[in-house]
Amino acid sequence: FLKPSVAGFLLQKIGVIESLLEKFAVGTESIAK
């Protein structure tokens, strides 16, 4: 079973990746216009 610290670390990593993908999506939208 995962330790709480490991789960929190993974969730933080996922949050960072999601924010980067969101910024990338916004950037590509502005370029496409």
Binding-site residues for AMP = 13
How far are the Cα atoms of 5, 6, 18, 21, 27 from residue 2, in angstroms, in the given order? Answer: 8, 6, 22, 26, 36
Q: Cα(4)–Cα(11) distance, rounded to whole angstroms?
A: 10
For the annotated binding site for ATP, the residues are 13
For the annotated binding site, the residues are 13
